[in-house]
Structure 1
Amino acid sequence: MDYLILYGMLQENYQLGLTLENNAKQLLENVDKLNKSSADTAASLEETSASIEEITSTIVENTQNISQMAVYSNNLLKSISLGQALAKLTVESMNELNEQTSLIAEAITVIDQISFQINILLLKKQ
């Protein structure tokens, strides 16, 4: 009878061993899945990090371009102001030239009138 008890215990131990083996296999499969998921997550994080680095680089480049555009805009505004000042001076010069031309035209008219009167006087003397 002791053999039967011992045989039952051995059978029970064998069944427990098989269950333990199955559970160990399942645990190993789960660890493998977890390991693969961790590797995939690490790869995704690496890709995300590279993307963030690229975006950061693009933002820095855009910021530099915006700064350069601001410099160009300021230069353009200065050029526009200078152009407006020069245009104003040109208009003023043209107005002065028109005034001088009018004065010269008046002087020529006066000279013509004097010349005409001198010619008339000369004709009367003859």
Structure 2
Amino acid sequence: MLIGADYNWSIVGDRIIIGNGPTAVESKVGYLISGPIRSSGKQHSGMFHILADHKVEEVDLEKFWKIESMGIDDQSEEIKGKENLLNYAATSIDKEDGHYVAKIPWKENSPCLPTNYEIVKRRTENVIQR
């Protein structure tokens, strides 16, 4: 859920829990966790949402995120894309005289573009008549 700054304070509550790491702020949709997170020696920043009572909603929320992420993190599409990239690299990139030469990637079995012969012919005739 993306909330603009003008509506943020109508959702955020008064209870704030501050610790050494992230800060928890109570809201109408549960606790919002934000702030620095240390991971493998590096410091990252993030924002999380925690639901306290989600026994019935857990299944619905999981279904929502699966539907919401369709096409974005589909593993089969990702694997197919990697296979296509490896195939392109193996068949379309050559090294000639110390330079790499790559062919333009084309989609396989794509429909041919329509010819504009009739339009071009009509326009040419109109120009000739003028």
Superposition TM-score, scaled by structure 1 size: 0.25
Q: Name which structure has the greater RCO, CA cutoff 8 Å, separation 6+.
A: 2
Q: Which has the higher helix share?
A: 1
Q: Which has the higher strand share?
A: 2
Superposition TM-score, scaled by structure 2 size: 0.24
